[in-house]
């Protein structure tokens, strides 16, 4: 009998779609539930205490409703703060999202890498530990940007976003002392790979952008190895904790990721 349990992706908004996409490519028959905590968006400007208190409870409710086989916290901020409590609260595998500092360090020729994330992520001690373990011989520069999260959300809704806004975000990273030698940038928020092309277009020089999506997809494939899937792919479900955006452009963007049903938690 096919196993109809879904993979549950969770983010504050639409950023986790950058993790869903490579997972869809690797597991095209997997049932998908994508949950966005848009009632509490954005996470990057919230306190650690707020996020640590909210995310495990919310994922418990989602797991009770949708009975997933596996949960993916497709949000760097939530993962760096709440991954441990979520794993303690649920009795199914939970995959977190961490900044891709290791592949960035392997790729960098100049040994100067940038970490572009939310304010909450870039200040986490977890990032310090990743940098010490995998990029000890690199200068690691960080910049937190709530503006880029908002730009990615607006872009998915079909709203016009200005090149100058993306350039300003990059300047916050590249204009730091030593920033002129950055050759590799870690996109340490799942929203940011969705607009990587916009960042590349305004960069003052070629930059190599790295994110954790492909690695997370490989981890999901490993954890579900040997499990059965439905014979045909079912429409994915997008779940929101707040009001559902009624704009046709938003629905069309979700449909590109095969999220065709919309529900409110």
For residues 130 and 102, the answer to whether their CB atoms sit within 8 Å is yes
Enter the tokens of residue 260.
């065709």
Question: Phi then psi for 80, rounded to 5 degrees?
Answer: -65, -20
Given this model, what pLDDT does residue 98 score? Answer: 86
Question: Phi then psi for 75, rounded to 5 degrees?
Answer: -150, 120
Specify if 1 maps to a domain.
no
What is the strand order of the sheet 236-240 is part of? 94-95, 70-73, 7-11, 32-36, 236-240, 259-264
CA distance 151 to 162: 9
Enter the tokens of residue 172.
């916050």
Do 218 and 206 sit in the same domain of this protein? no
Nearest CA-CA partner of 149 in 119, 186, 115, 127: 119
Residues 6+ apart with CB under 8 A from 37: 10, 11, 12, 13, 43, 54, 55, 58, 241, 242
For residues 239 and 62, the answer to whether their CB atoms sit within 8 Å is yes
Number of domains observed in the structure of the chain: 2
Listed residues 167, 182, 211: the one ending a domain: 211
Neighbours of 135 (CB within 10 A): 22
Q: Is the pLDDT of residue 8 over 90?
A: yes
122-179: pLDDT as tens digits:
988 889 999 999 999 999 999 999 999 999 999 998 899 999 999 999 999 999 999 9
Q: Is the pLDDT of residue 1 over 80?
A: no
For residues 178 and 172, the answer to whether their CB atoms sit within 8 Å is no
Tokens 């200005």, residue located: 162
Asked whether the bond before 42 is cis by omega within 30 degrees of 0, the reply is yes
Mean pLDDT within 96-110: 95
Listed residues 182, 211, 240: the one ending a domain: 211
Do 230 and 161 sit in the same domain of this protein? no
Q: Is the pLDDT of residue 226 over 90?
A: yes
212-223: pLDDT as tens digits:
999 999 999 999
Global confidence as pTM: 0.93
DSSP assignment, residue 78? H
Do 169 and 114 sit in the same domain of this protein? yes
Q: Which residues are catalytic?
A: 75, 189
Do 105 and 204 sit in the same domain of this protein? yes
Residue 152 domain boundaries: 101-211
């Amino acid at each position: 009998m096919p196993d109809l349990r879904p993979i549950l992706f969770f983010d504050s908004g639409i950023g986790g779609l950058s993790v869903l996409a490579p997972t869809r490519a690797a597991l095209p028959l997997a049932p998908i539930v994508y949950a966005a905590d848009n009632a509490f968006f954005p996470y990057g400007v919230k306190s650690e205490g707020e996020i640590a208190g909210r995310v495990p409870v919310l994922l418990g409710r989602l797991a009770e409703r949708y009975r997933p086989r596996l949960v993916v916290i497709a949000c760097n901020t939530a993962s760096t703060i709440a991954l441990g409590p979520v794993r303690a609260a649920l009795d199914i595998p939970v995959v977190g999202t961490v900044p891709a500092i290791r592949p960035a360090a392997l790729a960098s020729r100049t040994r100067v890498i940038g970490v572009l994330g939310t304010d909450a992520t870039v200040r986490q001690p977890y990032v310090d530990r990743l940098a010490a373990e995998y990029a000890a011989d690199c200068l690691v520069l960080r910049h937190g940007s709530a503006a880029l999260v908002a730009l990615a959300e607006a872009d998915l809704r079909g709203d016009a976003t200005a090149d100058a806004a993306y350039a300003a975000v990059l300047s916050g990273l590249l204009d730091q002392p030593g920033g002129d030698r950055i050759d590799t940038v870690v996109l340490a928020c799942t929203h940011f790979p969705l607009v990587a092309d916009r960042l590349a277009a305004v960069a003052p020089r070629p930059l190599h952008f790295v994110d954790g999506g492909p690695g997370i997809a490989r981890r999901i494939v490993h954890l579900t190895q040997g499990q059965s899937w439905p014979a045909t792919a079912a429409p994915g479900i997008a779940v929101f904790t707040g009001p559902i955006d009624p704009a046709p452009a938003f629905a069309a963007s979700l449909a590109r990721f095969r999220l065709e049903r919309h529900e409110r938690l």
